[in-house]
């Protein structure tokens, strides 16, 4: 079974830059760190989904697909762009540079019992969403929908069609920087930018 792990990068992700840090540089640091997480996973193909952000090809390892998205870049569009390349996919928000790879693996495991699995964000929305491809037509909640799991479960045609894994956090505002754990490995680019 071909599995994909895709990092979704949107211009809004630079808005979490703390004072004194260039939002464009912050966005690229977050995206690169999040990409490094998926590129290091075994048995999955890494992908970058660029929704209105240029220059992401420079972050990718050779052979990594960088797919340009237009429009709202919600889950339906993201998973539709991935459908030709795999059978299951996880789309990770590009503003989660310290996401433990284990949480991505847990989402793939949940797809064994449900067509959609969500890693909820600590302050609402989703850090990552997994789905069997093609993405279910009944699902229309976005990554920033505060009650994404409740909404998806309300749309599902049956119970147990939306699974959840452990939650995590995203860096959506300057105050979210405090959520980064200096003791965790990874997020080198974000760490370097914040300590400059």
pLDDT in tens, 67-98: 999 866 789 999 999 999 999 999 999 999 99
Hey, how many other C-beta atoms are within 10 angstroms of the C-beta on 134? 13
Hey, how many other C-beta atoms are within 10 angstroms of the C-beta on 143? 23
Predicted local distance difference test score (pLDDT) of residue 128: 98
Range of the domain at 161: 3-195
DSSP notation for 139-178: ----TT-TTHHHHHHHHSSSTT-EEE---B----SGGGGG
Chain-centre distance of CA 39, in angstroms?
Answer: 13
Dihedral pair phi/psi, residue 95, rounded to 5°: -110, 35
Chain-centre distance of CA 163, in angstroms?
Answer: 16
Cα–Cα distance, 48 to 46 (Å, whole number): 7
Looking up residue 187, the CATH number of its domain turns out to be 3.90.550.10
Please return the burial class of 130, using the count of CB atoms within 10 Å of its CB with bins 0-12, 13-18 and 19+.
buried
pLDDT in tens, 154-190: 999 998 999 999 999 999 999 999 999 988 889 999 9
pLDDT in tens, 96-112: 999 999 999 999 999 99
Count the domains in the chain: 1
């Amino acid at each position: 079974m071909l599995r994909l792990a895709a990092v979704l990068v949107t211009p809004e992700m630079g808005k979490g830059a703390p004072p004194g840090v260039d939002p464009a540089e912050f966005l690229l640091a977050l995206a690169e760190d999040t990409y490094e997480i998926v590129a290091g996973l075994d048995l999955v193909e890494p992908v970058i989904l660029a929704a209105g952000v240029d220059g992401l090809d420079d972050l990718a390892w050779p052979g990594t697909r960088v797919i340009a998205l237009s429009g709202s870049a919600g889950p339906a569009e993201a998973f539709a762009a991935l459908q030709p390349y795999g059978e299951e996919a996880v789309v990770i928000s590009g503003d989660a540079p310290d996401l433990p790879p284990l949480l991505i693996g847990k989402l793939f495991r949940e797809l064994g019992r449900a067509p959609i699995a969500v890693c909820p964000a600590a302050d609402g929305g989703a850090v990552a969403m997994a789905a069997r491809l093609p993405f279910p037509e009944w699902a229309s909640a976005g990554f920033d929908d505060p009650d994404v799991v409740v909404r998806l479960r309300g749309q599902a045609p049956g119970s147990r069609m939306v699974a959840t894994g452990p939650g995590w956090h995203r860096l959506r505002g300057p105050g979210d920087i405090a959520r980064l754990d200096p003791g965790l490995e990874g997020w080198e680019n974000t760490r370097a930018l914040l300590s400059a």
